[in-house]
Structure formats: C-alpha cells, structure tokens
Amino acid sequence: MTEPDLESLLPLSPSVFHILLALADEERHGYGIMQEIRLRTDGQVRLVPGTLYGAIKRLLAQQLIEEVDARPDPAIDDERRRYYRLTDFGQRVLRAEAARLASLVRQAEAKQLLSGWSQSLATGGE
C-alpha cells in the first residue's frame, strides 16, 4: 500500500498530535495513551473514548500507527488490550508537525509575544 502524501496530512489536529506524541517513545494501549496525555499536560488535555478511537481508526487508515501483533503477558496486563505503535511514516509526520509548530513559536518569539509569558504562567497570570 502506498503512503499518503506527508504534507497533505499537516497540520495535525491537537488530539491527533497528542496521540502520536504519546506513542513516540513506546507502544501503548488506548487507556495508556489517555493516561500519558493527561499526565504530560497536567490534566489540561483529556481525551475520552469516542475521540480517542475515532482518531485511532483514522491514524490506522493513514498508516501513521499500527497495531502491535504481540499480546501482553496475561499476568501483567489484560491480553485483550490492543497495543499501538508509531510507524516510520507516522514518526516522519510527527517530526514534520513538531517542526511546523516550533517554527510558529519562533515567529511568535520574534514578535515578542512570548516575553514574560513563562513568568506570567508561573505567577498564575497575575
């Protein structure tokens, strides 16, 4: 099967970006992806099953992720759980999106939109 055009997939929606980011370092099951996102964003981003599995379905169709054939040891985890991992193409799309976002941040920095922002965050916007 041929890979879709990388550029045509960008920009990624925030939820898709978070899902791919959750799978960037290791393979995870659905709930694992949700937990990783919640922990990483301090609970600011919370996916629920409908959005998560709708996105997983599309990511599988676009060949950005794939299901892992091996099942976990039943002693450690529920063997019915399906694990997902990034494909090489998914990795490239994630990198391209991260680079696009970094470029946007640089442009915002150049316009001094972010000066004092981190201090503002630390003081709770006072």
**Interface residues toward another protein, by CB under 8 A:** 30-31, 34, 46, 48-54, 56-57, 78, 80-82
Q: How far is the CB of 50 from another protein (least distance, A)?
A: 3
Q: How far is the CB of 111 from another protein (least distance, A)?
A: 35
Q: How far is the CB of 1 from another protein (least distance, A)?
A: 16
State the residue for tokens 């694990």: 83
One-letter amino acid for residue 41 of the chain: T
Q: How far is the CB of 13 from another protein (least distance, A)?
A: 12
Going from the C-alpha of 13 to that of each of 2, 10, 94, 97, 119, the distances in angstroms are: 23, 8, 11, 10, 28
Cα separation, 13 vs 9, whole angstroms: 10
* Residue 31 vs 117, nearer CB to another protein: 31
* Residue 80 vs 111, nearer CB to another protein: 80
Cα separation, 29 vs 19, whole angstroms: 11
* Residue 43 vs 116, nearer CB to another protein: 43
- Entry field: residues in the chain: 126
* Residue 57 vs 95, nearer CB to another protein: 57
Contact 47, 28 (CB under 8 A): no
